[in-house]
């Protein structure tokens, strides 16, 4: 959108400039050097987690001006501004009939003097919202009926491939009807879905937002009212998707709006539209705010009849303050609060769909980038532990980090039975170097043994400790006996009866791997503590 004006639009503007009739007066336009920030502090609604700064634009007149969107690096609007001295008045608004205009956009996203967009489209009736295909070769636009200047119908047209700037094959959409109005067309980025507002009989209120599939052969699917939390028994109008397609912006005088129409945002999921939120009092006022149009992640435009404007409706530019957001947390063992590394952590959205997966680091930490105003669930699991989850919502656009810590309960250790022996299967017990002091991380393993003993109150175990072949036989035997006794002491300290436990050390006499020149891994496997079930 910030690219240089292309050849096509240069030619188009030359044609338009030649045909342009002088407007009433240069004083009609606001100066981009005179932007004024607006405050809505008189409203009772808070900022709702959003923060906007709002400014006038350079194209407002003393008549009604409405923003529409973008086409070929131009800003498109429709306006009742008077062209010539004998402009025909709409008897219902007492303003001139609305026409389509296009404006240059500066690098500061200000707007410059509007020019008539198309003499072919700008006929006698009111023109309203217009939407363009991604390639710019097809349009959908709304035009009032001749019988009722405030009842609109939808039309489509294509650009003449032999005459750029000329729209041909103007065709009414097949679901038009003189019995109701169809307004505010908006085509999705992929060109497959056309959104619009209508008071057709299927609406649950006055005006609802509908959608229809645009098929590859140019035909249309069934008209569907948007499911989810968008439509109310009052009016919803001006649908417009976000740049990434995740959200639908729209205006409504339902949803407990502040005054008339407010701007809302609803999240698009695979099921329906959820989490509808008012954008708050830093953009909405006690008057009408309609037709929100995102330009970048933070810059957008909207239309309002708020106090202090130049005409009955004016176009405003807005800058949203957004911070990059993430959720971070620590995975711990529930009983010991020891940090758990290599736990699998999964981020789920409100529909249970997986958004991302990661593993906790050596400090038990994880982090995910997240979006604002979404209900999430964090699921964590690790071998030897029960799964656990925690839910949270990112209920603001202004907080950079959310915290969600999770504790995992260790599972009871497994009992394994073979022909030779029965034993409790565990990870190896780790000790400090040349010491019988149990490392903190191994207290989790010992707790799983305790849980198994508690679940099986009749079994007895013999704790057998072994060393590797490094060091003297006498030293290794003494060290192993102390390590076996240390493990037994820990278990006794957790309430297991002494008559269920025995311990013994075997030094290096019973290696798991018989080697004379052993690798570090072989030494580690030979250093072990076994929990053998004593058979009667």
Does residue 357 form part of some domain?
yes
d(CA 437, CA 443) in angstroms, rounded, equals: 11
Report the alpha-carbon distance of residue 183 to residue 236 in Å, rounded.
11
Q: Is residue 7's pLDDT more than 60?
A: no
Asked if pLDDT for residue 482 goes beyond 50, the answer is yes
Instruction: Tell me the HSE value of 518 on the side-chain side, using a 13 A CA sphere.
Output: 19
Both 389 and 488 in a single domain? Answer: no
Would you say 184 and 238 are in contact if contact means Cβ atoms under 8 Å apart? yes
Identify the three-state secondary structure at position 371: coil
DSSP conformation class of 338: -
Q: What angle do CA 292, 295, 300 make, to 5 degrees?
A: 45
pLDDT digit string (tens) for 187-199? 999 999 999 999 9
d(CA 116, CA 122) in angstroms, rounded, equals 8
The answer to whether residues 171 and 70 belong to one domain is: yes
CA distance 99 to 338: 68
d(Cα 378, Cα 344) in Å, to the nearest integer?
10
Residue 232 pLDDT greater than 80, yes or no: yes
333 within a domain of the structure (yes/no): yes
DSSP strands (E only) in 145-179 = 152-159, 167-172
Of 408, 430, 445, the residue that ends a domain is 408
Question: Which CATH number characterizes residue 344's domain?
Answer: 2.60.40.10
Map tokens 């493990």 to a residue.
Answer: 487
Interval 141-188: pLDDT, tens: 999 988 888 899 999 999 998 888 889 999 999 999 999 999 999 999
Q: Nearest CA to 67 among 240, 268, 278, 190?
A: 240
Q: Is residue 309 part of a domain?
A: no
Same domain for 283 and 424, yes or no, is no
Over 50: is that where the pLDDT of 2 sits? no
* φ and ψ of 94, to 5 deg: 60, 25
Residue with tokens 């959720």: 327
264 and 358 assigned to the same domain: no
Whether 1 is in a domain gets the answer no
Contacts of 179 (CB under 8 A, 6+ apart): 200, 201
Residues 252, 159, single domain; the answer is yes
Lookup: tokens for 21:
């009739």
pLDDT class for 44, splitting at 50, 70, 90?
Answer: low
Assess whether pLDDT exceeds 80 at residue 84.
no
Tell me which H or E stretch contains 185. strand 182-187
Q: What is the pLDDT of residues 448-478, one digit of tens each?
A: 999 999 999 999 999 999 999 998 999 999 9
Same domain, 45 and 108: yes
Residue 27 has pLDDT above 50, yes or no: no
pLDDT on residue 395? 85
Q: Which CATH number fits the domain that encloses residue 115?
A: 2.120.10
Per-residue pLDDT tens for 328-358? Answer: 999 999 999 999 999 999 999 888 889 999 9
Question: Which residue, 295, 310, 335, sits at the end of a domain?
Answer: 295
Facing residues of 389 across strands?
379
The 65-71 sheet, strands edge to edge: 65-71, 74-79, 99-103, 115-116
Q: Which of 496, 500, 502, 418 lies closest to 465 in space, CA to CA?
A: 502
The answer to whether the CB of 115 falls within 8 A of the CB of 20 is: yes
Percent of the chain surpassing pLDDT 70: 91
Cβ-based neighbour number of residue 222 at 10 Å:
8
Same domain, 238 and 350: no
451 occurs within a structural domain: yes
Examine the domain organization and report whether 130 and 229 are in the same domain. Answer: yes
Q: How many CB atoms lie within 10 A of CB 229?
A: 16
User: Which is it for strands 325-333 and 406-408: parallel, antiparallel or unpaired?
Assistant: parallel
312: in domain: no
Check whether 33 has a pLDDT greater than 60. no
Band (405; pLDDT cuts 50, 70, 90): very high
Domain that includes residue 420, residue range: 414-533
314 assigned to some structural domain? no
**Number of domains comprising the chain:** 3
- Residue 85's pLDDT is 61
400 and 291 in a common domain: no
Same domain, 429 and 447: yes
What is the distance, to the nearest Å, from the Cα of residue 29 to the centroid of all Cα atoms in its chain?
Answer: 38
- Give the three-class secondary structure for 497: coil
Examine the fold and report which residue of 408, 442, 460 is the final residue of a domain before the chain moves on. Answer: 408
Contacts of residues 249-255 at CB distance under 8 Å and 24 or more positions apart, as own/partner, are 249/292, 249/294, 250/209, 250/292, 251/288, 251/289, 251/290, 251/291, 251/292, 254/205
331, 198: one domain: no
Residues 253 and 209 in one domain: yes
User: Chain-wide mean pLDDT for the chain?
Assistant: 87
Count of other CB atoms within 10 angstroms of residue 17: 10
Q: Hey, what's the torsion of the CAs at 176, 315, 308, 297, to 10 degrees? A: 120
Q: Is the pLDDT of residue 5 over 90?
A: no
494 lies in some domain: yes
Q: What's the CATH code of the domain at 511? A: 3.30.1330.60
């Amino acid at each position: 959108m910030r690219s240089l004006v292309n050849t096509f639009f240069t030619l188009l503007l030359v044609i338009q400039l030649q045909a342009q009739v002088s407007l009433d007066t240069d004083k009609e336009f606001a100066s981009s050097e005179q932007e004024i920030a607006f405050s809505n502090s008189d409203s009772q609604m808070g900022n709702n987690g959003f923060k906007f700064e709002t400014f006038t634009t350079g194209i407002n007149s003393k008549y009604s001006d409405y923003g529409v969107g973008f086409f070929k690096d131009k800003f498109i609007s429709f306006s009742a501004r008077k062209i010539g001295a004998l402009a025909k008045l709409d008897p219902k608004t007492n303003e001139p009939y609305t026409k389509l205009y296009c404006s240059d956009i500066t690098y500061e996203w200000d707007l410059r003097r509007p020019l008539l967009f198309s003499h072919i489209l700008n006929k006698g009736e009111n023109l309203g919202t217009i939407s363009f295909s991604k390639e710019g070769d097809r349009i959908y636009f709304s035009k009032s009926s001749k019988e009722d200047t405030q009842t609109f119908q939808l039309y489509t047209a294509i650009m003449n491939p032999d005459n750029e700037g000329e729209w041909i094959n103007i065709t009414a959409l097949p679901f038009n009807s003189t019995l109701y109005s169809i307004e505010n067309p908006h085509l999705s980025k992929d060109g497959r879905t056309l959104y619009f507002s209508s008071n057709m009989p299927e609406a649950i209120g006055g005006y609802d937002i509908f959608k229809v599939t645009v098929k590859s052969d140019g035909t249309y699917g069934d008209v569907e009212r948007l499911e989810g939390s968008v439509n109310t028994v009052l009016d919803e109008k001006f649908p417009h998707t976000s740049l990434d397609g995740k959200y639908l912006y729209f205006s409504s005088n339902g949803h407990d709006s502040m005054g008339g129409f407010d701007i809302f945002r609803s999240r698009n999921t695979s099921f329906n539209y959820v989490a509808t939120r008012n954008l708050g009092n830093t953009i909405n006022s006690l008057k009408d705010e309609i037709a929100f149009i995102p330009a970048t992640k933070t810059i957008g435009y909207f239309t309002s009849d708020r106090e202090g404007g130049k005409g009955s409706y004016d176009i405003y530019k807005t800058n949203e303050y957004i911070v990059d957001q993430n959720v971070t947390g620590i995975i711990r063992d529930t009983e010991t609060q020891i940090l758990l590394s290599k736990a699998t952590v999964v981020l789920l959205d409100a529909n249970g769909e997986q958004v991302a997966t990661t593993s906790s680091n050596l400090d038990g930490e994880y982090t995910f980038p997240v979006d604002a105003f979404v209900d999430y669930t964090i699921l964590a699991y690790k071998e030897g532990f029960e799964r656990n989850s925690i839910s949270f919502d990112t209920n603001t656009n202004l907080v950079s980090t959310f915290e969600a810590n999770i504790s995992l309960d260790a599972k009871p250790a497994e009992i394994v039975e073979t022909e030779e022996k029965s034993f409790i299967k565990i990870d190896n017990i780790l000790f400090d170097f040349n010491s019988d002091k149990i490392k903190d991380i191994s207290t989790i393993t010992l707790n799983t043994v305790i849980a198994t003993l508690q679940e099986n109150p009749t079994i007895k175990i013999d704790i057998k400790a072994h060393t590797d072949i490094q060091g003297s036989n006498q030293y290794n035997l003494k060290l192993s006996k102390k390590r076996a006794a240390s493990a037994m002491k820990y278990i006794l300290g957790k309430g297991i009866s002494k008559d269920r436990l025995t311990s013994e050390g075997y030094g290096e006499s019973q290696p798991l791997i018989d080697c004379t020149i052993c690798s570090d891994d072989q030494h580690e496997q030979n250093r072990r503590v076994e929990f053998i079930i004593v058979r009667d």
